[in-house]
Structure 1
Amino acid sequence: MTIHPLFPNVTDRETHEFFEAAAEGRLVFRACNACDHALHPPTAHCPYCGAWDTAWRDAEGTGKLHAWTTVTHQIHPAFPAPYTLVVVELDDAPEVRLIGHMDGAPPLVADMPMEVWFQALPNGPTLPQWRPAA
């Protein structure tokens, strides 16, 4: 039996540049050039000030652990349990929280410093993932 992993839609008009940057080893977020508010999920229109002047900005690639859960019951063959899903709040845009996948059940604590790394999926996109900062 062939196991096909699940891939995100990397051609979406609102998020394709996020995945293009990840393929280059860069973490980005969208922000409003008029009011400087980070926009997540990313949109071309700022719901805070109403401007249509938004752009992708490079992030440092660091953050703090906001939340996590460890999955102990396998629900898809491409994701053997246990694995941990993390939500990381970016240091340079705290309103942006990104999700990542970690193998196993690592010892994590709230507000733990995290750093991004990039996982190139076989025959698929490159995804930003997270690990405890060194």
Structure 2
Amino acid sequence: MSGVLRPQHNRDTAYFWEGTAAGELRLQTCNACGALRHPPGPACPDCGALDRGHVVASGDGEIFSWVVHRHPQVPGRQTPFVIALVTLAEGPRVLGELLGVDPDTTDDLIGAAVRIDFQHVDDELTLPVWRLA
């Protein structure tokens, strides 16, 4: 996966990528109203506050939606692969690859329980991925 596309890494997302490197799924939280959100951003969409922090999520969730990615080719990836949109136990939804399922024989996965895992790409990138629970 050396040629993998790199996700955005900036001051709004640094805590998230530091968390994946540490084996944690971190969610942004608004320190003013307590709202959780993903993806992260500079201002709370609920109250507009700029005071943000993060919490460590349980890593448990269920598949809300999924797709088998076949085309186009993705740098650093072998197609096909399964991408899942997961509703976390805490509420927010997080997108990531679903490992351990055969893309060519995948049944309906909506509602399936999943657990977070982390895929170490290199010293600068660890990606969150999902596995069936």
For residues 45 and 75 of structure 1, do their structure 2 counterparts lie closer, same or farther at Cα, with a shift above 3 Å needed? Answer: same
Corresponding residue for residue 94 of structure 2: 98
Name structure 1 gaps, 5 residues minimum. none
Corresponding residue for residue 79 of structure 1: 77
Question: What stretches of structure 1 move > 3 A for 4+ residues in a row?
Answer: none
Distance in 2, Cα, partners of 1:62 & 1:41: 17
Name structure 2 gaps, 5 residues minimum. none
Corresponding residue for residue 117 of structure 2: 117
Q: How many residues align?
A: 128
2:4 is the counterpart of 1:5: yes
TM-score, normalising length: structure 1: 0.84
**In the TM superposition, what whole-angstrom CA distance separates every residue of 1:71-122 from its partner, at most 9, and x where no partner exists?**
2345135222221111111111x1x211111354144521111100010003
Distance in 2, Cα, partners of 1:45 & 1:132: 33
Distance in 2, Cα, partners of 1:29 & 1:125: 18
From 15, 18, 33, give the equivalent of 1:17: 15
Q: CA RMSD in A?
A: 1.9
Q: Shift in Å at residue 6 of structure 1?
A: 1.4
Q: Percent identity?
A: 32
